[in-house]
Structure 1
Amino acid sequence: MTPVGPGAPQPGGEAPARGDHRTGLTLVVPERAGHGQLAAELRARVGREVRFDVTARGAYSTDGSNYRQVPIAVVVPRTVADGAEALAVCREHDVPVLSRGGGTSLGGQGTNTAVVIDWTAHCNRLVSVDPDARTCVVEPGIVLDDLNAQLARYGLQFGPRPATHSHCALGGMIGNNSCGSTAQRYGKTVDNVRRLEIATYGGLRCWVGPTAGEELETITSGAGERAQLYRGLRHLGDRYGELVRDRYPDIPRRVSGYNLDALLPDQGFDVARLLVGSEGTLATVLHAELDLVPTLPCTSMLVLGFDDIIAAADAVPAVLDGCPDTPLQVEALDHRLVEIMEHLGSHLDSIRALPGGQAWLMIQFGAESQDECDAHAHALLDALGKHTEDDDVALTDDPARTAKMMAAREAGLGVTARAPLMHDTWEGWEDSAVPPERLGDYLRALRDLFAEFGLGAPSLYGHFGHGCVHTRIPFRLESAGGVTDFRRFLERAADLVVSFGGSLSGEHGDGQARGELLERMFGPELVAGFGELKALFDPANRMNPGKVVDPYRVDENLRLGAGWRPTPYATGFGYPDDGGSFTSAVMRCVGIGECRRSSPQGGVMCPSYQVTRSEEHSTRGRARLLFEMLEGHPDSAVTDGFRSGAVRDALDLCLACKGCKSDCPVGVDMATYKAEFLSQHYRHRVRPAAHYSMGWLPLWARLARLAPGPADAALHAPVLARLGKRLVGIAPERVAPHFAGQTLQEWWATRDRPAADPRDPRTVVLWPDTFTNHFDPHVGRAAVEVLEAAGFTVHVPAEPLCCGLTWISTGQLGIAKRVLGRTVAALRPWIEAGTLVVGLEPSCTAVFRADAPELLPGDTDVQRLAGRFATLSEALLGHAPHGWTPPRLDRAAIVQTHCHQHAITGSDPDTELMRRAGIDAERLDSGCCGLAGNFGFEAGHYDVSMACAEQALLPAVRDAAPETLVLADGFSCRTQIAHGAPGRRAIHLAEALRAPVSSTDSTNAQKE
């Protein structure tokens, strides 16, 4: 048996003095070798999703905080009963337990050397709704947005709305007492919880809530564990009541510490409220009964500009006094946050809509009518002596514009993590709160503290209506001196916020980040009371140990730290945005968890998570495994580096869609990391068969031209095709695409045309990508007609050219570089002339715009080509001779945006071109089509591939009216649609623009 955790006794002696520990509770964890019986019993009694493997342990090794602890195991219960049974098994084996929601905790609450129970995959039901009482009962794994979507039919919602609303779980919100922007109106999570069904480590399972008067007397006079617990709680409330009244700050955002105030008589002796914010250290939540609020049909957003963020903070009291009704939110952001977003090209529409100023307050009103909302906003303006005509005022009641503005504010955590021209920033002091009337003075003092420690001027933003300040600070956590300064700063900042009557945490909770500092806020007596409360619920100290009570030091278990020594690797990609470092690239992931959205919601990231609901198949989970692979810690979960089978398996279901490159707030590019990993993993080793078949597709396509008929027949002959697919690693369910009878280049060679002049500004090179050239040459011919009709002189290269995409996606980077080198050499005259190159296949265009410059960062021609490689829409809108207009179609269309286009080039030019052509386009919120180049063709991927398509794309195509166009520029997208929706064919935008398409063409195809 090995002692683990704070205050654990050492062999032959007393518990060590570590940090500021007080209770000395013991935590003992069996040796790894002793986990066999635990694993066997968990699997026998809980189910098959019991994970002791490297993949699961590495994926759950950290949360959204600075901290890291490799878990003992991960349990993903199928039912709430399974989760309770897992807790019972852990009790019988005397091992610690961590209940986890979305894993976005910023204080280290979601990481521990424990058995992690992840409720989100399956225990995510809305159990019941009582519309009259405005309550509902939920399981702990339900995501907030999913809950509110189901409640919408009743005109109800759960009020608090953290920035992570698209992926945070209600169980986690209860554990951390989450708030969000709408807490201004609706309060914290604790204010919206009616009852909880809990399970304690000791085996008690019961519902808890307000328990006053006769009911409390009945319970405490009885026998059994519940009676004993309630007697202890009653004694605790009596003993510490006066201290609680005296020392708990009377502010809207006191989240730090246990809610001992819930035990006071005037609070109804509410055990449910007591447990909210306890971070899984006291009990596990099995079900929650929640109070709901009506949805408000109308809103208005008033934005006020100020000279700086401190001036905005100073104005908060006047804003609150001037509001005729409690606003939904009073948010703030500063010029630094806006500058970062401008540099990153993020939320540009939103920040351009801001009024004049260097800092802004965003006040949102909600009501039953728009007139009432607008009246509230105008009343506030009148109280402040301002007008809508002022340069520093913006007022809108457009829900779309309001949503965009709020998205910019909610992006703060992500965009400040990798701020340009700054060292990486970290949590630690990211959510302190003070009385709103003292906010301006607090920010002045906080800025002075930043200056004293040489931390520059980090962005300041947050929930200013409640005095809650968000920031990320450039601590140097990779050096001993930096860690020392980190600790010193937190101690000084804790004393500072207490001096203003504030709270260490105003939203994110304590965990390890602030647990050690609680005595500075509450004093030793109340902290001793926290220890007594912990002992009542969890005397063995097995529930998320080391957090809140008897805490780990703020400067141990760091994800980095002075002892962090990652293995340096020579890499294939240059990582120019990460200082040339693969390690730095992997560290982009700070655990925000946007990749864990349960549906595309207008984005792409992360399709494999959306259909598997498995952490290791999220962008974050893969990033965690890659971090463990760097072997920076002695206890790294992954010990075999790039040869790791665990990392390979986690990356296997990455579709390389690049959605994370654009949708992830910190720009994680898992497609690139996967290609890098495959390159290193298979170096000097035999690769999977699909890497030789799909990876070398451009070569096989060229060889097929020697006998195109027989080659195509062999691919589709029943017996040969089945055998061939098995040999080359292709999914048996897939049908190989047909080779064209004549390639685009062959067709071009037959045309009687004058030679194109590279120096003529009307000349464009049409890129003959492998897919268009060999499989869909009619798309290329349509593009030629459209470009020529627009006044361009088109040139199609005659030599075999390739962007190297298939070699990149299969991690054959050496070949990809050589292929790109030959391509650049062939295009050099056009590159030197600055000729526009037009791409029709979005994935190939993305290679030239993004992958090629990263593979060959020192090649000037590659950089030049990246700047002159355009989509068809970009060419037509931005470079066509003056006066060109597209043909009018006046047709409805549904549009599947290729994921690489979404991530790299964007779809705005397509949208504008379709508008001009009279195409009434509905852009599907379908995410990735699921085929994703070679992914959906590879054996073992078919089910995931089709599940991705069935989320939104294929149902939308099947439901579309026969006369509706189905537009998809990506070859993979069109292939997936043809496979999954027989009878409907998607066409390229070039085909739609070539000539009006017959409204009776129910297949939407223009076949040869």
Structure 2
Amino acid sequence: MVVPRTVDAGAEAVAVCAGFDVPVLSRGGGTSLAGQCTNAAVVIDWTKYCNRLISVDAERGTCVVEPGIVLDELNRLLEPHRLKFGPKPSTHSHCSLGGMIGNNSCGASAQAYGKTVDNVRRLEVVTYDGTRCWVGPTSDDEFQAIVAAGGRRAELYRGLKEIIDRYLMDVRQGYPAIPRRVSGYNLDSLLPENGFDLARALVGSEGTLVTVLRAELDLVPVPPYEALLVLGYPDICSAADDVPRLLEHGRPTQVEALDGRMAELMREEGAYLDSLDQFPSGESWLLVQFSGDSQADVDEQGRALLRALGRCVEDGTVAFSDDPRREEKLLRAREAGLGVTARPPDGRETWEGWEDSAVPPERLGDYLRDLKRLFEEFGYGLSSLYGHFGQGCVHTRVPFELKSAEGVAAFRDFLGRAADLVVSYGGSLSGEHGDGQARGALLRRMFGDRLVAAFGEVKALFDPGNRMNPGKVVTPHGVDDNLRLGPHWRPRTVATHFGYPDDQGSFAQAVMRCVGIGNCRSHRGGVMCPSYRATGEEEHSTRGRARLLFEMLEGHTDSTVADGWRSTEVRDALDLCLACKGCKSDCPVGVDMATYKAEFLAHHYAGRPRPAAHYSLGWLPVWARLSRLSPRLVNAVLHAPGLSRTGKLVAGVAAEREAPAFAEQSFLQWWRARGTPQPEPGDEKTVVLWPDTFSTFFHPNVARSAVRVLEDAGFRVVVPAQAVCCGLTWISTGQLGMAKRVLLRTVEVLRPWLAAGTPIVGLEPSCTAVFRADAPELLPDDQDVQRLARQFRTLSELLLHHADGWQPPAIGRAATVQTHCHQHAVLKDDADRELLRRAGIDAEVLDEGCCGLAGNFGFERGHHDLSMAIGEQGVLPAVRDTPPGALVLADGFSCRTQIEQGGTGRRAMHLAEALALGLDTPHLPAHLPEKLISRPAPSPGDARMATVVALTAIAATVGPVYALFRRRRGRGPALPHTP
């Protein structure tokens, strides 16, 4: 793997490879579905450093870019010019322009702007033998000048001219005249009538001919107004039948489709329901978008099309929107196609291979009927059909059975039959994703012997040694060669701590959820993957980690990860996983790397000492309870310059971190001193307030404020009298045996309230998420754990849905709100947003990703710099930009700590604190008194400090010593019953 810092360094890397005669694979985002980015080669990844927008010529409507720039980042940089790059694949948040050029990518907007090939003006390329030049359309005079200059470049141009002259009629007659032909080399761009355009001829060549160093691109204006029409149909074939009429009577910029099977999968998975709720009646739908210079223009385009179709806006099968937010929501359901169909809830695995065939739009309906019959013949009948129907491009994921010889043989036979079918319709094997290894061996069926021979001659001219991404397009590998699974795949069966209920109880099945979509490589919005956003390294993306875990399972004899659970490679890759759970929600196929990491750590350290931080931070609930012996002394030690440095070193804590101070009076001490009568279980207005470690021992004002708010809402609050814990810190450090024991004891304490159906209210999102997600997976057969998951509420959920008639105080302030990652991933924040609205809080809910602290992660030695880098990517600057009169709200202890320690000059509040202040102060002052949200400060030490230091050192080392003497797996001490 080469990660060049400049394009010149990338060109030099190619020269080094040529010197050693080794293959080269030039890669962008690595999302190619057809296997273009898989090979035995030196991989050049351009995305980390070579990602600049070099120049923009707004008057000419062009720009020059480096190959690693991501499409969304390019369009963001072009916003001031009101320009954009037209083609927009569904992977727009992370696909690179170099990859789009390599695959000739398209996307939904190709209806208006064409494929990538139609938007490339010039390319700077380097060949394997080192010839470097800019290429583009070539006039006769320029061609003669290049040939006259001699050298390797002249040889290439002369050779291409001879090839195109020799195969002139074959190219003119053998390329299907359809809008979505992506298969094969673009020899048609070399035709005289097309200007002998070498740049466009190289687009879509999948890195088999040259390495692209820079690209000059054509840009298009950003349309000022858009509208979207959604039409319902009884089935996907009848929807396809209507496409020619749409194109005849309208000028849409997008014509997208999805079928009832895809909608069914969304409902089963509980995904994109807010999008589906906007759809009109029907079993399949066309989404038709219009663009124009005025709202009246786009609205009239939609109405005119409806009149031509004999429909109107009032029809139940019609939905019309000119609201950009609603349009985005509707289109999001279509963009979700690959993720939704990749891993259906029924457990069947679906795969690419025939996922983007294309035919003339006027023949699309009949093609789909024949394709569905072919699916039925092979037993693939539940395949969803969707895609870019305005250009005749059909997407699908087929449930190929790739783990047996019979299944692989059927896969091979199906692809041959499907290729013959699409060719009979005058179509293309690929309408968007390219050929790669999945379809390269089928090109002869589409183009015939002569054109395939022409491809071979072009390849031999540019790359006579077959060193550029070999095995693609020319002399391709077979469609069933190098399968990820195949009949020889035999992964180890491993006993696990988590139950993996959505993956048939299989860790291997869970790991295989990742199908390489690459949303974890996005740069903005959502939560995942914070470590990748900071490092730019594939190893630290969710996808990279999932791949390593797959290799770890030793499914093939040549697996690159040989040590199984003891693998240091996997450990190192997982070390920078923040366990933020962002992937659980933001990954289209629901990869949950936080759970996989906890599982791995449990096995990796089984029967041997762990890192010191696993004992100091992983056992934090115990140390927090022990702090009650003398919290002032503990705070003094934690903050005394010399002593704290030594303690952090012993405990494996980052020296740069300031230890949060323990409260002098914990919430439980305050609660007991308050003497509140405890109602009996079963009282309908009783709620159990969960005393999490953070709201109890560090920020007790959060819990006290929650009591104030809950009582104002008419609830009778109960706090467990015995010690309870969710086990979060043990889960995040992979001490799962201990976590189970903690949870079982907690369930025992809560049993009367569980039996009575009493709601339990959590204030710390990470703890609440444990009960809603982790605990049911750790103890899937325990009915009380399942009850606990159902009865656990966030504060906002309880106040909105169970506090009859209660209205929150009218706070009337602006607020910057950081949503905890676990809340984003597991709990969602809809209730919080609504409660904020009812309280009159003008909330700017940040979409800036993880804060970077993420529980124990940001405190562990070696993580501080990355933790701060993640915070500086969005959250911390946003807090600094918050006006002084606005609130900063963050329910997560980690988020509040990061904000306070991140140089923002602000202290964040919990929502409960804001509501409680609103109760006491109907109109909050512009600047809140600092004492109302103050955190405990350390007090000076005294003569007994040395004793406490000694106790702290013993506490930090007793765990490793104890682990050395464990003999039975999963054995460990019970949680102390310290008051």
The yes-or-no answer on 1:340 pairing with 2:265 is: yes
One-letter code aligned to 1:314: D
What is the identity percentage for the equivalent residue pairs of Structure 1 and Structure 2? 68
Write the deviation string for residues 594-614 of structure 1: whole angstroms up to 9, x where unpaired.
Answer: 000012x1x100000111111
Query: After the TM superposition, which of the residue ranges 752-761 and 512-521 deviates more from structure 2?
Result: 752-761
Opposite residue 165 of structure 2, the aligned amino acid is D
1:241-260 equivalences in 2 (<5 Å): 241-260=168-187
Q: Which residue of 2 aligns with 1:734?
A: 657
CA contact (8 A) 1:306 1:360 kept: yes
> Counterpart in 2 of 1:452?
377
Whole-Å separation in 1 of the counterparts to 2:25 and 2:308: 50
Q: Aligned residue for 2:753?
A: 830
Alignment partners' CA distance in 1, 2:665 and 2:627: 12
Alignment match of 1:887 (pick from 809, 825, 833)? 809
- Asked whether the equivalents of residues 126 and 137 of structure 1 are also in contact (C-alpha less than 8 Å), the reply is yes
Distance 1:944 1:983 in 2: 21
1:594 aligns with 2:516: no
Shift of residue 1007 of structure 1?
A: 2.4
C-alpha separation in 2, matches of 1:606 and 1:274: 36
Q: Is it true that 1:108 corresponds to 2:35 in the alignment?
A: yes
Q: Which amino acid aligns with 2:590?
A: G
Cα deviation for residue 202 of structure 1 reads: 1.1
Q: For 1:365, what is the secondary structure of its paired residue? A: strand
Q: Would you identify which runs of 4 or more consecutive aligned residues in structure 1 move more than 4 Å?
A: 1002-1005
Matched, 1:366 2:291: yes
The equivalent residue for 2:562 is 639
Secondary structure of the structure 2 residue equivalent to 1:99: strand
Q: Which amino acid aligns with 1:995?
A: L
For 1:503-902, list aligned pairs within 5 A.
Answer: 503-599=428-524, 601=525, 603-880=526-803, 882-902=804-824
CA contact (8 A) 1:298 1:370 kept: yes
Query: For residues 420 and 900 of structure 1, what CA distance do their matches in structure 2 show?
Result: 23
Paired with 2:162 and 2:565, the residues of 1 have a C-alpha distance of 57
User: What's the counterpart of residue 166 of structure 1?
Assistant: 93
Distance 1:570 1:1003 in 2: 52
1:917-996 superposed matches below 5 A:
917-996=839-918
> For residue 735 of structure 1, what is the amino acid of its counterpart?
E
Deviation string 1:806-842 (CA, Å, 9 cap, x unpaired) is 0000000000000001000111111111110000000
SS of the residue corresponding to residue 723 of structure 2 reads coil
Which residue of 140, 144, 157 maps to 1:213? 140
Contact 2:880 2:905 in 1 (8 A): no
In 2, distance between residues paired with 1:998 and 1:563? 70
- 1:590-632 CA distance string (max 9 Å, x none): 0000000012x1x100000111111001000100111111111
Which residue type is aligned with residue 686 of structure 1?
A: P
CA deviation string 1:561-583 (max 9, x = no partner): 11111111111111011000000
Deviation at 1:521, TM superposition (A): 0.3
Deviation sequence 1:197-221 (CA, Å, 0-9, x none): 0000011000000012111122223
Structure 2 distance, partners of 1:590, 1:982, is: 39
Q: Deviations over 1:777-831 (max 9, x none)?
A: 1100000010010000100112111000000000000000000010001111111
TM superposition shift of 1:995: 2.4
Q: What displacement does 1:874 show? A: 0.4
Q: CA deviation at 1:354?
A: 0.4
Instruction: Give the letter for the 1:517 counterpart.
Output: L
- Please state how far the C-alpha of 1:962 moved relative to its aligned partner: 1.0
Distance 1:348 1:1005, change over 3 A: farther
Secondary structure of residue in 1 paired with 2:428 = coil
SS of match in other structure, 1:301: strand
Letter of the structure 1 residue corresponding to residue 583 of structure 2: C
1:983 deviates by 3.1
Deviation at 1:920, TM superposition (A): 0.5
Classify the secondary structure of the residue corresponding to 1:995: helix
Q: Assess if the C-alpha contact under 8 Å between 2:579 and 2:732 holds in 1.
A: yes
Structure 2 residue 80 is matched with structure 1 residue 153: yes
Query: Does 2:231 correspond to 1:309?
Result: no
Aligned to 1:14: none
Q: Structure 1-normalised TM-score?
A: 0.92
CA contact (8 A) 1:984 1:1002 kept: no
Change (3 A) 1:560 1:757: same
Contact 2:122-2:134 within 8 A present in 1 as well: yes
Q: 2:357 is matched with which residue: 432, 451, 465?
A: 432
1:652 maps to a residue whose letter is D
* 1:703 Cα deviation from its structure 2 partner: 1.2
Q: 1:850 to 1:212 in 2, by over 3 A?
A: same
Secondary structure in structure 1 of the residue aligned to 2:517 = coil
Amino acid aligned to 1:383: A
1:630-688 CA-partner distances (Å, limit 9, x unpaired)? 11112211111111101100101100000000000000000000000100100111110
- Is the contact between residue 160 and residue 183 of structure 1 (CA under 8 Å) also seen in structure 2? yes
- Aligned partner of residue 158 in structure 2, secondary structure: helix
Q: Deviations over 1:386-414 (max 9, x none)?
A: 10011111110000111111111011001
Q: Secondary structure at the match of 1:484?
A: helix
Aligned partner of 2:53 in structure 1 is 126
Match in the other structure for 1:66: none
Q: How many residues align?
A: 930
**Residue 907, structure 1, aligned to residue 832, structure 2:** no
Could you tell me which amino acid in structure 2 is paired with residue 733 of structure 1? E
Task: Name the SS of the counterpart of 2:342 in structure 1.
Answer: coil
SS at 1:75's partner residue? coil
Closer/same/farther in 2, CA of residues 152 and 1004 from structure 1, 3 Å limit = farther
In the TM superposition, 1:94-493 aligns within 5 A as 94-323=21-250, 325=251, 327-493=252-418
User: How much does 1:754 deviate?
Assistant: 2.3
Q: Structure 2 vs 1, CA of residues 994 and 451 (structure 1 numbering), >3 Å: closer, same or farther?
A: same
Q: For 1:928 and 1:452, locate their aligned partners in 2 and report how far apart those are by CA, in whole Å.
A: 48
Q: Deviations over 1:20-46 (max 9, x none)?
A: xxxxxxxxxxxxxxxxxxxxxxxxxxx
Match of 1:251, SS state, is coil
For 1:491, give the aligned amino acid: G
In 2, Cα distance between equivalents of 1:718 and 1:224: 69
SS at 2:755 equivalent: helix
- Measured in 2, the distance between the counterparts of 1:766 and 1:942 equals 33
Asked if the contact 1:605/1:927 (under 8 Å) is kept, the reply is yes
Instruction: Verify the 8 A CA contact 2:345 2:502 in the aligned structure 1.
Output: no
